[in-house]
Structure 1
Amino acid sequence: MAVQSQASGASGGLATTKISDVIAAYRPTTMFRSPTPESCITSLDFDDTGELLVAACNDETIQLYNCKEGKLNKVLPSKKYGAHLARFTHHQQGVLYASTKVDDTIRYLSTHDNVFLRYFKGHTAPVTCLAISPGGDDFLSGSVDNTVLLWSLKSAHAYGKLFLNTPYLAAFDPTATVIAIASPSTSTILLYDFRNYDKAPFATFDLLELEQKFTPKSVGRDWTKVEFSNDGKSILLATNGQGHFLLDAFDGNLRAFCYRKSNAPASRAAPGRQEGVPGQGDACFTPDGRYVVGGTNEDNMYVWDTQKEPSQDLVLKPEHELEFKGSRGAVVAFNPRHNLFAGGDKEVVFWLPDPHAVD
């Protein structure tokens, strides 16, 4: 895997500066190219410390990056089972990921010695999401088999199961007490009390009218990610269409539609769709919850300021466009501790604030 580097990792005086002071100054600094033109990054995730990044690739490898040093640490093959949705647990050397071949087992890998610690068998169709509880060793998974399974890292057997229509996306809120499950086919987001997951959802957000207004060509499909902001006040529902829905996490009302031009086809298939390379969504919140950073279906990156007043019809246009001709942000993740974010397509790109561009 060739590496083209223009700068180091998340070191330097701007690493923990207030995001609003540097958001317009992000520039691509380090690019890690895939070994073959056909290889595509399908997921990205930072560990709790922000020191490491894990990427899953459709060449059936898991890649580990050191963010401080700006380098690729190791490549772990998963040729037999494939790999998607690689997620750090709260143990820095522990990674969960979904299989793409042989079966639909979720695997728990020690990246230190490349040994499986546990297998989580229960799904009977491809896994579409993995969400780790911020409060401990619990996690949940959604699948094309129309179930959501609840697990503990300590047991190979699921301790909970929900039967739902197309529960392809899920997320924990920052307090680890609420889970959101997004169902594209029913155009709904369901909120559950995590401690009483077997009870009916305490809130249901119906997004059909919003889809018909803002994304009429993709009603009931093309949802790619659901995510809570770190303050728990907003939910981001990312799509492959002309923008993303920014919702009030308490009542489901639309705060803004984060508009983007959509002149190019999406480069990753939405969960549950069989054609194309899978992904995890190309938008995410910054750790302060103020901004949404996302791909453009071209090469540049957009930044939406959620504190900015949207238009009368609740359309929010990008506040900044971060220029880069060389890599599409098909998957995006923001470092939880440092002012660094990563984008992935046929390569992984680190973005850092340029000190010369900061006022």
Structure 2
Amino acid sequence: MAYPTEPTQSRRSSIVHEGHTRGVTSVAFSPDGKSVASGSFDNTIRMWDALSPSQIGEPLTGHHDKIWSISYSALGNVIASGSWDKTIRLWDVNTHRQMEGHTEGVLSVAFSPDGKSLVSGSYDQTIRMWDAFSPSPIGEPLRGHSTYVYSISYSPLGNIIASGSNDKTIRLWDVNTGRQLDEPLRGSYTFLSVAFSPDAKLIASDYGPGGRTIQLWDVEKRKLASDPFKGHTQVVRSVGFSPDGTRVVSGSNDETIRVWDVERGTTIVGPLKRHLNLVSSVAFSPDGSQILSCSFDFTLRLWDTRSGRTIGNPYQGHTGNVHSVAFSPCGTYVTSGGQDKTVRLWDMRTGRQLDQPFDEHSDWVYSVAFSPCGHYIASGSDDRKVIIRSIFVTYPEPPSNFEPCVTPEDGDNPLPNEAPQIVVSQMSTQEISRDKAAFLALTTSQCIDVASGLEYMHAQGTVHGDLKALNVLVSLEGVARISDFDFSVMSSASGLMFSASSNSRAGSIRWVAPEMLKEDEEAPQRTKQSDVYALGMTMLEIFTGKVPYSQFQNDFSIMMTVKRGTLPARPIEQLKNDAQGNFVWELLLRCWSRNLMERPSAGEVVSTLVSRTGGA
């Protein structure tokens, strides 16, 4: 019998690939084993010959931050990359190009009436339809325009899409077949805005020499349905129908807004003059009583449709031109997008911005839209992306310290239009910080209020998922109240991006329980225990007036600190080394226990605080 001989000397060989300028974080072999892809802190992906030290082509560039993960598709024709810039990108292995829906900036987005699909128009001359619940295009691009597609509108029946273009045409498309219907509607100027009437019989658009007039079109007959509505002295940039179809609102480069009678074609309200630059977008509220406008003066304004007077102060927050606005279906919130690359959400009742701006886009945001159910916001940007954000959470009958929103119902389940929040303001802490006893009494009372609200939510089977002090409102009397009209719960919702995706929001990781950061679980479930961990961090924030781990500026440092089990330092100035301070600190440590079963319930936190403090 012959036996294989043992080698007398071990031989090792390796191939070294060099090219990245910073650390390499991830590598992956292609399915056929002939190539290797690598991702790096230098924000690039590189492809290498697996059998030689040769790089294949140029680096794949597009990410704006460190790349953490690389993976080949099963067929080997696509590479997926995940980055700290909150995006996942797909790359064609053969062309080394990023696989995106549109090849140029997205100018307009609109949801279908049933909310199941989204349509977008682009500088690349195409219209694309998307599945609203996955980053998947529906069919092939709709082609026919010879230049930019500025405006998109779905018929209320959901069967037709209207598109307005720089080629001076409006085209109608069959949603089911993707084919253009008949000949385009033609004008003498770029169609910057198109809108269907509520009965789907008419389309309103800018029109005429210089685009200074508004025109109505008969959808069925494919021809003009009115004489031009004259009044604006410069280009009309935005038009929209009132909910009852009897009025049209328009915004213009002449810095004014007008409301028109559909039957007579005359101005019945306006011109409304308060903006200091061109009016870029206008919209009626769902009940038709108000108009929302935005402008290149960086502001949004709300108007009364009867008196023409502004309501409240301008909405200020954007740091550049505001391009687009939209009402939520219940009319309580509005969203806006602009030149500062952000999408913002506003509470109509207060005129204040909710939470931090959404900054996933890397270029100007041209268009925003609410889904018909109010659970999603879509945005289109010059970065060629369409992003959908999920924003729903349900609530039963609220307690006395819960401020509800009147919302539509979906079947038997009431679905709030936006996400609930629990929050504590720091407004009173500095004023009374000189009186330590009063300070501790107020902050402890606010902790009880917040914990009570969380206890109620848990009793109803609802997990908050993003508790932090930014999400708590405090009355002038110092009472902390749970509210359902903020937006931080977005960090726990899924964001869909049609060339990338993200399901996190910067900053919330400071409050996130360590079990939520486990890498061996694809989607850790938020639980009552993880809420209690965040409650502990929120109470610490109430006492100190600072966010947890305030010494760290980036999420990665915080994440590694939490994973190591390092807790925030005890704030000795606020929680002194005495009986009361030790009592509160020990309660916080219980909330932060790595053993989920050792964490108290929200109800236990309430009873513990009340028993030791008498509720103050």
**Normalising by the residue count of structure 1, what TM-score does the alignment of the two structures yield?**
0.69
Partner secondary structure for residue 181 of structure 1: strand
User: 5 Å matches for 1:104-119?
Assistant: 104-118=212-226, 119=228
Distance 1:142 1:64 in 2: 24
Distance 2:196 2:258 in 1: 18
Q: Report the CA distance between 1:18 and its aligned residue.
A: 8.4
- Quick one: which of 387, 394, 401 aligns to 1:302? 387
Which structure 2 segments of 5+ residues have no match?
1-112, 118-130, 392-418, 420-464, 471-486, 501-616
Partner secondary structure for residue 254 of structure 2: coil
Q: Report the CA distance between 1:324 and its aligned residue.
A: 4.2
**2:146 pairs with 1:42:** no
Structure 1 residues 311-320 or 51-60, which shifts more? 311-320
Give the AA of the match of 2:249. L
Cα 1:94/1:261, change in 2 over 3 Å: same
Cα 1:136/1:231, change in 2 over 3 Å: same
Distance 2:467 2:378 in 1: 16
Q: Report the CA distance between 1:23 and its aligned residue.
A: 5.1
Aligned to 1:170: 282
**2:196 pairs with 1:97:** no
Cα 1:160/1:111, change in 2 over 3 Å: same
Give the AA of the match of 1:181. S
Aligned to 1:241: 340
Q: Report the CA distance between 1:160 and its aligned residue.
A: 2.1
Aligned to 1:251: 350
Structure 1 residues 133-142 or 103-112, which shifts more? 103-112
Partner secondary structure for residue 204 of structure 1: coil
Cα 1:65/1:310, change in 2 over 3 Å: farther
Aligned to 2:255: 146
Aligned to 1:66: 174
**2:431 pairs with 1:320:** no
Aligned to 1:188: 299
Q: Is the 8 A contact 2:337 2:379 kept in 1?
A: no
Distance 2:341 2:466 in 1: 19
What whole-Å deviation, never above 9, does each CA across 1:252-300 have from its counterpart, x for those lacking one? Answer: 121134423444x44x8xxxxxxxxxxxx33211111121122354344
- Quick one: which of 200, 212, 233 aligns to 1:124? 233
Give the AA of the match of 1:193. D
Q: Is the 8 A contact 1:96 1:108 kept in 2?
A: yes
User: 5 Å matches for 1:188-267?
Assistant: 188-197=299-308, 200-207=309-316, 210-211=317-318, 215=319, 218=320, 221=321, 223-263=322-362, 265-266=363-364
What fraction of aligned residue pairs are identical, expressed as a percent?
Answer: 19
Partner secondary structure for residue 331 of structure 2: coil
Q: Is the 8 A contact 2:302 2:312 kept in 1?
A: yes
User: 5 Å matches for 1:4-19?
Assistant: none
Cα 1:202/1:294, change in 2 over 3 Å: closer
- Quick one: which of 193, 200, 215 aligns to 1:85? 193
Aligned to 2:561: none
Distance 1:124 1:297 in 2: 29
Q: Report the CA distance between 1:85 and its aligned residue.
A: 0.5
Q: Is the 8 A contact 1:236 1:247 kept in 2?
A: yes
Give the AA of the match of 1:106. I
Cα 1:75/1:152, change in 2 over 3 Å: same
Give the AA of the match of 1:121. K
Q: Is the 8 A contact 1:256 1:310 kept in 2?
A: no
Q: Report the CA distance between 1:120 and its aligned residue.
A: 0.5
Give the AA of the match of 1:321. L
Cα 1:96/1:310, change in 2 over 3 Å: farther
Cα 1:298/1:116, change in 2 over 3 Å: same
Higher relative contact order (CA 8 A, sep 6+): 1
Q: Is the 8 A contact 2:239 2:282 kept in 1?
A: yes
Q: Is the 8 A contact 2:370 2:378 kept in 1?
A: yes
Which structure 1 segments of 5+ residues have no match?
1-14, 269-280, 326-359
Aligned to 2:19: none
Q: Is the 8 A contact 1:151 1:157 kept in 2?
A: yes
Larger C-alpha radius of gyration, 1 or 2?
2
Distance 1:43 1:310 in 2: 39
Compare the two structures and name the one with the higher strand fraction: 1
Distance 1:154 1:295 in 2: 34
Q: Report the CA distance between 1:61 and its aligned residue.
A: 1.2
Give the AA of the match of 2:143. S
Give the AA of the match of 1:180. L
Distance 2:154 2:233 in 1: 28
Give the AA of the match of 2:359. R
Q: Is the 8 A contact 2:249 2:258 kept in 1?
A: yes
User: 5 Å matches for 1:333-344?
Assistant: none
Structure 1 residues 81-90 or 52-61, which shifts more? 81-90
Cα 1:70/1:78, change in 2 over 3 Å: closer
Q: Aligned residue pairs: how many?
A: 282
Give the AA of the match of 1:129. S
Q: Report the RMSD for the aligned CA atoms in angstroms.
A: 3.1
**Normalising by the residue count of structure 2, what TM-score does the alignment of the two structures yield?**
0.42
Distance 1:171 1:249 in 2: 14
Cα 1:312/1:44, change in 2 over 3 Å: farther
Distance 1:291 1:103 in 2: 32
Cα 1:79/1:26, change in 2 over 3 Å: same
Q: Is the 8 A contact 2:269 2:305 kept in 1?
A: no
